[in-house]
Amino acid sequence: MQTVRHSEHTLKTALISKNPELVKQYEQLDPREQRLLNEAFRPGSDLFGPITLHSPSDWIISHPEAPQDFEEFFSDLHRKSPSSGKQTIYIQCIGLLGNTRSISEEYLKWLKGYCEAFFYGLTVKLLEPIPVSATRCSFRVNDSTRNLQIHAGQILTFLKKKKPEDAFCVVGITMIDLYPRDSWNFVFGQASLTEGVGIFSFARYGADFHSSHFKGQVKQLERKSSSDYSVFDDYDLPEATSVLLLRSCKTLTHEIGHIFGLRHCQWLACLMQGSNHLEEADRRPLDLCPICLRKLQSAVGFRLRDRCKALVKWIDAESTDTPRVTPKHSREELVTLPKPVEAFKEWKEWITRCLAVLQK
Ligand SMILES: [Zn+2]
Ligand SMILES: [Zn+2]
């Protein structure tokens, strides 16, 4: 195992910069916020650590990119920031996220709540979920995995047309796998940063996707016409487990982070690290390192303490407080689905330690 370790000086410059204006801006932050952010370069910090590399196929080794420090982020004229009148993150669910409508609705609410805490201060709204057929996108069965895949670029075109006036961005999410073009095997997601739209799939994060008893295999694709999307009607989707929820939250916030102009992090172990495969995605933490956190804070304007509190509250909060009414003749049972947050336990302890620094 290799470690990407930077000197105290390098990390300090990446965080605070040498630009006198930005140094001044940093010094004007609440001293407790500075104390937490300074953990980035404090030797022996138990809150933030270096990036570890485990295999040659890890992202940093296989995709060399220029690092982005705070100053580069701040002075990037092309990045998008929420502006007055455009402060809403819209989530468009495509197809169901679970095997019943009620599970799907709960799952969406969990993701919405998580994004509201993560991008604290911005509004997150759910667009009315739509079936795959509503997008009119192309789809196919993957030759090797035999799962259904929808065309990512066509979904982006669809989302661009639907983008509300007050949107900072619109992100499509789906449990159906994606492909970017015929010659490609699959893609986890695709985004247009200038347009503020993205589409991300959680299909490959389900427990069974890579196993031989994966139920989403389609033997043969029979379509009566080009408008026949019936194969999606009872398509088997992964179970809404705690691990799937954690992976979905991670992917969604990482990808929305890109829409804010945050590039892949090469400073410390961080949510914004690139990832090339599932094991590497699982290894990266749920939250941002101080350098990326300062970037997001400067774009959104939240107080770190408020954001941490909101994240803890999301983990602790029950799934829903409104009693669900099941329509008559529904084949769905009345289920109360508690939010599966077991996988977030360790992270909650970590945020609580960050909160302690922010409240000292
Ligand atoms: Zn990325
Ligand atoms: Zn980072």
> What are the chain's domains?
1-78+262-301 (no CATH), 80-260 (3.40.390)
Top mean pLDDT of 194-208, 284-298, 313-327 is at 284-298
**CA 162–ligand 2 middle distance (angstroms):** 32
Structural tokens at position 190? 């695709």
Task: Give pLDDT, residue 55.
Answer: 86
Whether residue 105 lies in the annotated active site: no
Q: Tokens for 146?
A: 């035999």
Determine the residue type at 179.
Answer: Y
Distance 94 CA to ligand 2 centre (A): 30
Other beta carbons less than 10 A from residue 89's beta carbon: 23
Which SS3 state, helix, strand or coil, does residue 252 take?
helix
Written as one string, the DSSP assignment of 283-320 is HS-SS--HHHHHHHHHHH---HHHHHHHHHHHHHS-S-
Name which of 44-48, 218-222, 225-229, 305-309 the model is least confident about: 218-222
Q: Does residue 335 have a pLDDT over 70?
A: no
Helices 290-300/8-16 angle, 10° precision = 0
Question: Which ligand has an atom closest to residue 291 CA?
Answer: 2
The pocket of ion ligand 2, defined by CB under 5 A, consists of 265, 270, 272, 289, 292
Could you say which ligand is closest to the alpha carbon of residue 190?
1
Q: What's the CA-to-centroid distance between 255 and ligand 1, angstroms? A: 6
Q: pTM here?
A: 0.93
Confidence band, pLDDT 50/70/90 cuts, at residue 336:
low
The 10s digit of each residue's pLDDT in 88-102 is: 999 999 999 988 899
How high is the pLDDT of residue 334? 53
Q: Residues 63-92: what's their mean pLDDT?
A: 94
Residue 3: the pLDDT is: 92
pLDDT at residue 321 tops 70: no
- Report helix angle 242-259 to 101-118, nearest 10: 50
% residues pLDDT > 90 (the chain) = 75
Higher pLDDT: 214 or 282? It is 282
Among residues 193, 185, 159, the alpha carbon closest in space to that of 79 is found at 193
Q: Which residues does residue 88 pair with via DSSP β-bridges, in sequence order?
A: 123, 167
155-197: per-residue pLDDT in tens? 999 999 999 999 999 999 999 999 999 999 999 899 999 999 9
Which is the catalytic residue, given 39, 255, 279, 346? 255
CB 358, CB 33: distance < 8 Å: yes
Q: How far is CA 202 from the centre of its chain?
A: 10
Residue 323 pLDDT grade (very low, low, confident, very high; cuts 50, 70, 90): very low
Mean per-residue pLDDT, 39-62:
92
The answer to whether the CB of 204 falls within 8 A of the CB of 188 is yes
DSSP 108-131: HHHHHHHHHHHTTTSEEEEEEEE-
The DSSP annotation for 128-184 comes to EEE-GGGGT--EEE-TTT-BEEEEHHHHHHHHHHH--TTEEEEEEEESSEEESSTT-
CA distance 261 to 194: 10
